[in-house]
Structure 1
Amino acid sequence: KIRVGGRLEEPKYRRYVPSLRYYLLLSILRHERDDEGISPSSFAASVVATVPDKKHAADESLLEPYAYISSTPGKDIRTALIDCFDLWLHVPDPAVLSEIKHIVSSLHDASLLIDDVEDDSNLRRGVPVAHAIFGIAPTINAANYVYFLALERCLALNNEGASRVFVHEMLNLHRGQGYDIRWRDSGSCPTETQYVGMVIDKTGGLFRLAVGLLQSFASANRDVDYVPLVNDLGLYFQIRDDLLNLVDDEYMKGKSFCEDLTEGKFSYPIIHCIRGGKGEGEGGVGTAASTQLLSILKRRTEDVDVKQYARRLMIDAGSLRYARDECVRLKTEIVTLIDELGGNGPLLKVIDALHAQVEKIPENFMNR
């Protein structure tokens, strides 16, 4: 029982999941007050005592949308990056390293479930999106369920630094996703600087989360600042993805033809074209090409002829070349940063493999 205003009452927290005990305890002990006669320390101890100490028993039948997307083969870039960064950081316990991989992988797949709902996508990894099979509500619930299962696993590692990284980067990820959605739904084209900030939040979030978890358990290089490298990796990955979405036949097999146009997404080359070849300010917004492309985005068209015309507008504006050149610049910067950090052969191989698709883009997409 706990004392509330001079009365002893039964606590009302018996059904809360185990991870709540840690957050309640940390929150109360860090902000000790004695409101309404409640003793913070005794209250925290009482709450912790009533929360079961056993791990939550997940109901797999509620996780079918997640199991579905996890069973379809993806690029698994994040697991490869974890192995590469571990060559620098040397997490001593293989079990902890395995848990970090599981946490990051599950968060990524769960975020894809949400992305596909928010983008009204049709295909993911060459198969129908999960919500087209299981429904929107069950898919959203499964994704959120997985987020908290991942948090539970992170808390079970009993490392406050890791828990802080987890929460901080998940907040960043959702902030970035929020910007992306707001621009799309309002039809407001961001500047290049705004786009970069969004990508560093959204795409870079899981990359930083992975490296941050590794550093929380590292036996070497714990104080090295890998954030500039990780941010560049996230930015490269997203701009490359934006470019391939518009030009790569193999990429389109896993989704649909120029899917970003159907989603109304302000991707890197689309922003360049709408802003008339300018990265900042209003640039050339208002030109015929920018006005037409913006109108096409707002229509969320699935008409292939219209999307081919939109792509031609971007080719003529030099926007696809601009995106490719930025990929080349970022790759060069990434290689330099890797060298400055002491070198990492496997990481360079991952970057080369990613960049190979950029180098294969036909030159006719680059001609103005």
Structure 2
Amino acid sequence: MTTIEQKFAKNYKTVVDDVDKKLSLLLKNRKPKSIYEPCSYILEGKGKRLRPFLVLVSAKTVGGSFSKVYNAAIAVEILHSFTLVHDDIMDNSDKRRGRVTLHKKYDLNTAILVGDNLNALAYESLLKDCKKNVNEIVSTFTQCIVEVCEGQSLDKEFEMRNDVTLKEYKVMIYKKTAALSEMCCKIGGLIVSGNKKEIIALSNYGKNLGMAFQIQDDLLDIIADENELGKITGSDLVEGKKTYLFLRAMQKAKGADKDLLLKIIDNNGIERSEIENYKNLYIRLGVLQDAKKEIERYTKLALNSLSVLPNNEGQQLMNWLANVLINRNK
């Protein structure tokens, strides 16, 4: 790691620590305890804090300062937490970020209410930084929530369908994942009054970074080290999820290979003992390499969008981040 890379990694860690601290204090002394204690529980779960970082560096790139957008950065993390609470309910998940999910720790009604409240708290935090371009900022934030909900709906719909296409999958991951990173970059620029050209470039960076991030998640599920990933590799196969890898394999497979893939749909997943066989099938069909190329393509699109932005530390941080994410192992 070069000196500049070490500096940027340190900057990122500082942001993560600051966001963690602000989130831990956000709801202190708010009542009733019955809602704010579980709200605090979900906000204190340790995550990458990638989305707040995108808000901050986007603002910095177009001439703003972190201090101008920190409330907005906190807002997007609160919003992200809201989506996770409701996702966990719909998926009936037991764990999130290494801890018991909210609806398991408390109860279903509490978790639903917490998710609703987090959505409102996200707006409360966002509005503190809205001095100019208020309508566009709030509209962008709101449209993102609509997109995320639509994406989650498509994801659940796909579980019931056996004819999902790769094109449909990309629409779904744009809405569920990439729209959020796109919004983070856009509002970061809008709050500090970036010009139209800069806002478009920031938005394109966030969108393409988000697409690469989700396909990378799909890939890591099958190739990552379990200890680093923090969950069993191949869990998407076990759960019968229609990921980039699965849908690309369906496009390419014939004969017995196609029959093996159709078994995943018919049985709503596979046994853990079968994971290695399907991983080998993916390798034989070349879908792991296809995924890597797609990740590289979206990352390149994200990086290319930076060329119209000022060549300053903010832009360099965005460049660094894209390269870090493409090489991540968890």
- The verdict on a shared fold, with TM-score over 0.5 as the criterion, is yes
Cα deviations across residues 156-196 of structure 1 (Å, max 9, x unaligned)? Answer: 54622221111111111111111111011x13342222122
The number of residues matched between the two structures is 293
For residues 122 and 300 of structure 1, what CA distance do their matches in structure 2 show? Answer: 19
For residues 138 and 290 of structure 1, what CA distance do their matches in structure 2 show? Answer: 44
TM-score by length of 2: 0.79
For residues 76 and 163 of structure 2, what CA distance do their matches in structure 1 show? Answer: 31
2:59 corresponds to 1:83: no
| 1:196 paired residue among 159, 170, 181 | 170
- Residue 323 of structure 2: aligned partner: 352
TM-score by length of 1: 0.71
Say if 1:231 and 1:239 are closer, same or farther in 2 by CA, change over 3 A. Answer: same
Contact 1:236 1:327 in 2 (8 A): yes
Matches within 5 A, 1:263-302: 263-276=239-252, 287-301=255-269
| 2:101 paired residue among 97, 108, 129 | 129
Gaps of 5+ in 2: 1-29
2:280 corresponds to 1:312: yes
- Residue 42 of structure 2: aligned partner: 69
Cα deviations across residues 197-229 of structure 1 (Å, max 9, x unaligned)? Answer: 222211122112222322332233354313322
For residues 259 and 219 of structure 1, what CA distance do their matches in structure 2 show? Answer: 43
- Residue 29 of structure 1: aligned partner: none
User: Which one has a larger percent helix, Structure 1 or Structure 2?
Assistant: 2
2:151 corresponds to 1:180: no
For residues 66 and 289 of structure 1, what CA distance do their matches in structure 2 show? Answer: 46
| 1:256 paired residue among 227, 232, 236 | 232
Cα deviations across residues 20-67 of structure 1 (Å, max 9, x unaligned)? Answer: xxxxxxxxxxxxxxxxxxxxxxxxxxxxxxxxxxxxx66342144442
Q: CA RMSD in A?
A: 2.6
Structure number with greater CO (CA < 8 Å, separation at least 6) is 2
Percent of aligned positions that are identical:
24
Cα deviations across residues 305-354 of structure 1 (Å, max 9, x unaligned)? Answer: 02333322222221112111211222223222223434421111112221
Contact 1:173 1:203 in 2 (8 A): yes
Matches within 5 A, 1:11-90: 59-90=32-63
Say if 1:86 and 1:314 are closer, same or farther in 2 by CA, change over 3 A. Answer: same
For residues 141 and 38 of structure 2, what CA distance do their matches in structure 1 show? Answer: 23
For residues 307 and 93 of structure 1, what CA distance do their matches in structure 2 show? Answer: 45
Contact 1:189 1:266 in 2 (8 A): no
- Residue 14 of structure 1: aligned partner: none
Gaps of 5+ in 1: 1-56, 278-283, 361-368
Contact 1:82 1:210 in 2 (8 A): yes
Cα deviations across residues 118-145 of structure 1 (Å, max 9, x unaligned)? Answer: 2233332223333222233322221122
- Residue 35 of structure 1: aligned partner: none
- Residue 208 of structure 1: aligned partner: 182
Contact 2:59 2:188 in 1 (8 A): yes
Give the Å deviation of 1:253: 4.4
Between 255-264 and 75-84, report the one with greater CA deviation: 255-264
- Residue 3 of structure 2: aligned partner: none
Say if 1:182 and 1:349 are closer, same or farther in 2 by CA, change over 3 A. Answer: same
Matched to 1:272, the amino acid is R
Matched to 1:194, the amino acid is E
Matched to 2:81, the amino acid is D
Matched to 1:135, the amino acid is D
Cα deviations across residues 213-260 of structure 1 (Å, max 9, x unaligned)? Answer: 223322333543133222211101110111111111247742333222
For residues 354 and 347 of structure 1, what CA distance do their matches in structure 2 show? Answer: 11
- Residue 74 of structure 2: aligned partner: 102
Give the Å deviation of 1:148: 1.7
- The structure having more radius of gyration, on CA atoms, is 1
- Residue 11 of structure 1: aligned partner: none
Give the Å deviation of 1:107: 0.7
- Residue 303 of structure 1: aligned partner: 271
For residues 117 and 264 of structure 1, what CA distance do their matches in structure 2 show? Answer: 18
